[in-house]
């Protein structure tokens, strides 16, 4: 038996391609410096059910003269380790704080990568309890979705909790943390870097990716009003999507979707539509404005419809 040279050539080409793809996966952990000392790693817009790799949310860090605060750690120990390695290429200063903007697994499961740094872990006053309640389900889900990539990922609870607000000093740089009542979740926290006037919103703000609800839609809209009142924001880092210098428009864009969702579900209930019918119809006018719209919008309706039925 003998193969044509073309066969070997094709084999060689595909091997080279495979190796190149593998090295890209290993090395490709991009960081963008969005202001002096403020670094963001952008997650990709993958759905949990569709090729989730534990790296879908925006995570990053802020560097002061004394040390560093990490803001969200990614969806797995592996993602947290990659963030830490990227951080260490930029600064050798101690990692003083790891802040979690809320409970969701794509934001917290990299925490363990920073344990050896002995930082304060910081979260909303309700975060520790939410972590305790969701731990079994989140660990199971992470293993099912990420397999080997989830090894070593664990729930690391806050050592400092924020009831209303808190100021952290990174050395010649202060971070103002603000807790919110039930909104995107019941554990939402924003981080404002005074020096650069950069606001990290966590998932109170989605850009491009369809906003997903896990808290209280009316509380979320109220939080958006509150954020709209802030006048000194130069730029905002959303939980998902690109950094924006037009914070007000981004808030309006999200509020428009959430308001329509609320209106359409209320109207559907009034008209006697079933939840299934409502899942196919509510907020459809927004479908062209967002990524992953159908899956996320259906989940939002699935959560909201039963709650609004009893309004
Ligand atoms: Zn979230």
| All residues with CB under 5 Å from ion ligand 1 | 104, 203
Share of the chain above pLDDT 70, in %: 90
pLDDT, position 48 = 67
Domain locations in the chain? Answer: 26-246
Instruction: List the beta bridge partners of residue 169.
Output: 174
Burial code of 225-254, b = ≥16 C-beta within 10 A, e = fewer? Answer: eebeebeebebbbbbbbebbeebeebbebb
- 281 CA from centroid of ligand 1 (Å): 24
pLDDT, position 311 = 84
103 Rama sector, left if φ>0, alpha if ψ -120 to 50, beta otherwise: alpha
pTM: 0.89
3-state secondary structure 14-45: HHHHHHHHHHHHHHCCCCEEEECCEEEECCCC
Query: For residue 16, what pLDDT band results from cuts at 50, 70 and 90?
Result: very low
Torsion, Cα 206 209 214 220, to 10 degrees, reads: 30
- Looking at residue 239, the DSSP 8-state letter turns out to be E
Host H or E run for residue 70: strand 68-71
pLDDT, position 47 = 74
Distance (Å, whole) CA 171 – CA 52: 37
Burial code of 77-109, b = ≥16 C-beta within 10 A, e = fewer? Answer: bbbbbbbbebbeeeeebebbbbbbbbbbbbbbb
pLDDT, position 49 = 66
Instruction: Name the residue with higher pLDDT: 236 or 4.
Output: 236
Reported as a single tens digit per residue, the pLDDT across 24-71 is: 333 579 999 999 999 999 998 877 666 678 999 999 999 999 999 999
- 6 CA from centroid of ligand 1 (Å): 50
Instruction: Name the residue with higher pLDDT: 111 or 45.
Output: 111
1, pLDDT greater than 50: no
- 184 CA from centroid of ligand 1 (Å): 7
Torsion, Cα 88 244 218 122, to 10 degrees, reads: 20
End-to-end CA distance of the chain: 75
Burial class (CB in 10 A: 0-12, 13-18, 19+), 275: middle
- 199 CA from centroid of ligand 1 (Å): 16
- 203 CA from centroid of ligand 1 (Å): 5
pLDDT, position 285 = 98
Reported as a single tens digit per residue, the pLDDT across 203-224 is: 999 999 999 999 999 999 999 9
Share of the chain above pLDDT 90, in %: 86
In 112-271 the beta strands, taken as DSSP E runs, fall at 120-124, 160-162, 165-169, 174-179, 189-193, 198-206, 235-240
pLDDT, position 50 = 66
- 148 CA from centroid of ligand 1 (Å): 23
Tokens of 38: 């403020």
- 121 CA from centroid of ligand 1 (Å): 18
pLDDT, position 53 = 84
| Total residue length of the chain | 311
- 219 CA from centroid of ligand 1 (Å): 15
Query: For residue 185, what pLDDT band results from cuts at 50, 70 and 90?
Result: very high
Query: For residue 12, what pLDDT band results from cuts at 50, 70 and 90?
Result: very low
Instruction: Name the residue with higher pLDDT: 231 or 161.
Output: 161
- 12 CA from centroid of ligand 1 (Å): 43
Reported as a single tens digit per residue, the pLDDT across 242-288 is: 999 999 999 999 999 999 999 999 999 999 999 999 999 999 999 99
Q: Provide the CATH topology of domain 26-246.
A: Metallo-beta-lactamase; Chain A (3.60.15)
């Amino acid at each position: 038996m003998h193969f044509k040279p073309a066969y070997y050539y094709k084999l060689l080409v595909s091997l080279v391609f495979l190796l190149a793809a593998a090295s890209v996966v290993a090395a490709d952990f991009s960081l963008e410096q969005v202001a002096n000392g403020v670094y963001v790693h952008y997650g990709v817009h993958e759905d949990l059910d569709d090729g989730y790799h534990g790296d879908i949310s925006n995570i990053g860090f802020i560097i002061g003269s004394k040390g560093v605060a990490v803001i969200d750690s990614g969806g797995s120990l592996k993602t947290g380790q990659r963030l830490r390695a990227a951080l260490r290429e930029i600064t050798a200063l101690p990692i003083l704080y790891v802040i979690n903007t809320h409970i969701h697994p794509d934001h917290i499961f990299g925490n363990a990568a920073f344990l050896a740094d002995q930082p304060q872990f910081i979260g909303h006053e309700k975060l520790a309890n939410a972590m305790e309640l969701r731990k079994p389900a989140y660990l199971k889900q992470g293993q099912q979705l990420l397999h080997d990539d989830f090894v070593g990922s664990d729930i690391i609870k806050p050592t400092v909790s924020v009831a209303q607000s808190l100021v952290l000093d990174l050395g010649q740089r202060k971070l103002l943390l603000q807790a919110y009542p039930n909104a995107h979740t019941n554990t939402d926290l924003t981080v404002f870097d005074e020096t650069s006037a950069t606001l990290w919103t966590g998932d109170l703000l989605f850009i491009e990716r369809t906003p997903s609800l896990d808290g209280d839609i009316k509380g979320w809209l109220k939080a958006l009003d509150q954020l709209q009142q802030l006048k000194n924001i130069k730029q905002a880092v959303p939980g998902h999507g690109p950094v924006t210098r037009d914070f007000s428009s981004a808030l309006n864009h999200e509020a428009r979707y959430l308001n329509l969702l609320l209106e359409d579900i209320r109207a559907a209930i009034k008209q006697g539509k079933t939840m299934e019918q409502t899942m196919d119809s509510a907020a459809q006018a927004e479908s062209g404005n967002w990524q992953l719209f159908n899956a996320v919008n259906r989940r939002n309706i699935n959560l909201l419809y039963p709650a609004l039925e009893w309004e």
